[in-house]
């Protein structure tokens, strides 16, 4: 047989999957591995989807998305993100943020181009880029997980096409400060680069910080590709709906790729997203408060146990170091699972600079979080 795709062969199978294999058949496992909020998708969203199916909305959707949905996204972008666009030119509905990221890569890059990513960062960026022949240049974050701008400047070559950011960030919990954002934008403009910004955690931000969309800032819209989704805000990861907002030129290119690869997204589910956007986000206040409480709980407990860690400013993850326990993140997570039935993700999957870290998700109810912290404490005391 002839060989199969080298690009795909090189991408590893998900290490998170391997961890969950260890948990198979055990009822005592508490998972702190999950990247999905634990509240239910709001009822109107589910109803919107069901009603659309009952009305026989089961045929192909318009390639860029249902116009009513695009208009509501335009409105949200203007009111929430201060990005003023025209839905007919500047938005495309995607299969979650995941496909939005794929579209960003497909529309910007040629093989051999380079992208700069601060590391650790969301795992898909590292492999999805390789499917398009793009070279990832990883730049290690500072100790507090902020971007290291000196290192970013040094990493720029004549092949650098874009910088990718995800703020608030999975896995580090870092959220860019206004000063950091300005510094980043200076670099983008100075070196004539694109900025890809993944904003799926825009609502999960704490300590009085406010999310700012780079595309709303002076001179940035034309060079920014903004990615977002309904997945995290509406606890609707299974709806598989998100969107990209970008210049007409880029969205036109994306439409072509979209047409030939997926022909549009789930039609009836888009009516669920329509209802979601009509709801506004008042419902989220209670959820935000709960996540903030969990964040404080996990940070306080882990600090008291003795972990070196940075208090997360956003998203719902924290990334403690395992160095002082003489364990790699992978050894730590495997042994913790075997001995205490708690699933945490080894940091090494999030890039080249986090082998000695683990990622803990606190998107789990508070009582389970407390029990998980007790078990982690026992594990540390024994080792």
Ligand X SMILES: Cc1ncc(COP(=O)(O)O)c(C=O)c1O
- Residue with Cβ nearer ligand X (72 or 227): 227
Q: DSSP E strands: which ranges in the chain?
A: 30-31, 91-94, 114-119, 135-140, 160-166, 194-198, 224-229, 242-245, 317-318, 342-343, 345-346, 358-361
Among 74, 113, 114, 198, the residue binding ligand X under the rule CB under 6 A is 198
CA 153 to chain centre: 24
State in angstroms the smallest separation of the CB of 7 from ligand X. 20
Over the window 267 to 296, marking each residue x when it contacts ligand X by CB under 6 A and - when it does not, the resulting string is ------------------------------
Instruction: Work out how close the CB of 107 gets to ligand X at its nearest, in angstroms, rounded to a whole number.
Output: 17
Q: Does 203 bind ligand X (CB under 6 A)?
A: no
Contact region with ligand X (CB under 6 A), list: 49-57, 93-101, 186-194, 352-360: 93-101
CB nearer ligand X, residue 90 or residue 237: 237
How many residues line the site for ligand X (CB under 6 A)?
A: 13
Chain residue at closest Cβ approach to ligand X: 96
Shortest Cβ 236–ligand X spacing (Å): 9
- What 3-state class would DSSP assign to 36? coil
Judged by beta carbon, residue 248 or residue 263, the one nearer ligand X is: 263
- As given in the structure block, the two tokens for residue 328 are 């790699």
Buried b (16+ CB within 10 A) or exposed e, 131-161: ebebbbbbbebeeebbbebeebeebbeeebb
Interface pattern 229-268 for ligand X (x via CB under 6 A): x-x-----x----x--------------------------
Q: Is residue 42 part of the contact set for ligand X (CB under 6 A)?
A: no
Shortest Cβ 359–ligand X spacing (Å): 11
Tokens matching residue 324: 């002082």
Q: Which residues contact 174 (CB under 8 A, 6 or more apart)?
A: 141, 144, 145, 146, 167, 168, 310, 312, 313, 314
CB of 232 to ligand X, least distance (A): 7
Cα 134 to Cα 159, 219, 251: the distances in Å are 10, 26, 20
Near ligand X by CB under 6 A: residue from 170, 197, 213, 354: 170
DSSP assignment of 203-229, as one string? T-B-TT-----GGGSTTTGGGEEEEEE
Sign for the pseudo-dihedral over CA of 32, 283, 81, 108: positive
Residues 12-41 close enough to bind ligand X by CB under 6 A: 35
Q: Which of residues 300-359 bind ligand X (CB under 6 A)?
A: none
In the complex with ligand X, the residue whose CB is nearer, 66 or 380, is: 66
Least spacing, CB of residue 36 vs ligand X, in Å: 8
Distance separating alpha carbons of residues 94 and 241, to the nearest angstrom: 6
Q: Smallest distance from the beta carbon of 154 to ligand X, in angstroms?
A: 25
Q: Does 200 bind ligand X (CB under 6 A)?
A: yes
Q: Is 96 in the site for ligand X (CB under 6 A)?
A: yes
**Closest distance of CB 246 from ligand X, Å:** 16
Binding segment toward ligand X, per CB under 6 A, in 90-98, 111-119, 279-287, 324-332? 90-98
Beta-ladder partners of 243: 93, 228
The total number of residues written for the chain in this structure: 383
Q: Is 175 in the site for ligand X (CB under 6 A)?
A: no
Specify the residue, 33 or 242, whose C-beta has the smaller distance to ligand X.
Answer: 242
Give the shortest CB-265-to-ligand X separation in angstroms. Answer: 11
Q: Which residues pair with 120 in a beta bridge?
A: none
Q: List binders of ligand X among 109-128 (CB under 6 A).
A: 122
Q: Specify which residues 115 forms β-bridges with.
A: 136, 162
Specify the residue for token string 């999905």: 36
Binding flag, residue 97, ligand X (CB under 6 A): yes
Tell me, what DSSP letter sits at residue 41?
A: P
Distances (CA, A) of 182 to 160, 169, 195: 20, 17, 13
Residue 73 within binding range of ligand X, rule CB under 6 A: no
Where on the chain is the footprint of ligand X (CB under 6 A)? 35, 96-98, 122, 166, 170, 198, 200, 229, 231, 237, 242
């Amino acid at each position: 047989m002839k060989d199969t795709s080298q690009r795909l062969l090189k991408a590893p199978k998900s290490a998170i999957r391997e961890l969950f294999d260890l948990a198979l058949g055990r009822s005592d496992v508490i998972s702190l591995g999950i990247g999905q909020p634990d509240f239910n998708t709001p009822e109107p969203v589910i109803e919107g989807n069901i009603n659309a199916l009952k009305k026989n909305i089961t045929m192909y959707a318009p390639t860029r998305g249902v116009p009513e949905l695009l208009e509501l996204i335009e409105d949200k972008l203007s009111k929430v993100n201060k990005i003023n666009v025209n839905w007919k030119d500047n938005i495309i509905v995607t299969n979650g943020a995941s496909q939005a990221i794929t579209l960003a890569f497909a529309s910007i890059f040629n093989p051999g181009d380079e992208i700069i990513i601060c590391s650790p960062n969301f795992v898909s960026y590292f492999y999805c880029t390789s499917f398009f022949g793009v070279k990832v240049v990883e730049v290690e974050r500072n100790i507090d997980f902020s971007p290291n701008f000196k290192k970013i400047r040094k990493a720029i070559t004549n092949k650098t096409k874009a910088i990718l950011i995800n703020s608030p960030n999975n896995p580090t919990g870092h959220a860019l400060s206004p000063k950091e954002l300005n510094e980043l934008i200076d670099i983008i403009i100075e070196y004539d680069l694109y900025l890809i910004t993944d904003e799926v955690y825009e609502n999960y931000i704490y300590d009085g910080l406010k999310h700012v969309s780079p595309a709303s800032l002076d001179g940035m819209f034309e060079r920014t590709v903004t990615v977002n989704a309904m997945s995290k805000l509406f606890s609707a990861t299974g709806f598989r709906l998100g969107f990209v907002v970008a210049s007409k030129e880029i969205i036109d290119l994306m439409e072509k790729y979209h047409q030939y690869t997926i022909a549009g997204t789930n039609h009836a589910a888009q009516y669920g997203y329509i209802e979601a956007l009509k709801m506004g986000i008042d419902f989220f206040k209670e959820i935000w408060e709960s996540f903030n409480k969990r964040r404080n709980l996990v940070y306080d407990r882990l600090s008291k146990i003795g972990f070196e860690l940075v208090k997360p400013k956003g998203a719902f993850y924290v990334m403690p170091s395992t160095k002082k326990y003489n364990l790699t993140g992978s050894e730590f997570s495997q042994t913790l699972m075997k001995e205490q039935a708690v699933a945490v993700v080894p940091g090494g999957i999030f890039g080249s600079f986090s082998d000695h870290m683990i990622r803990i998700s606190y998107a789990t109810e508070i009582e389970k979080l407390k029990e998980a912290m007790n078990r982690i404490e026992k594990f540390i005391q024994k080792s």
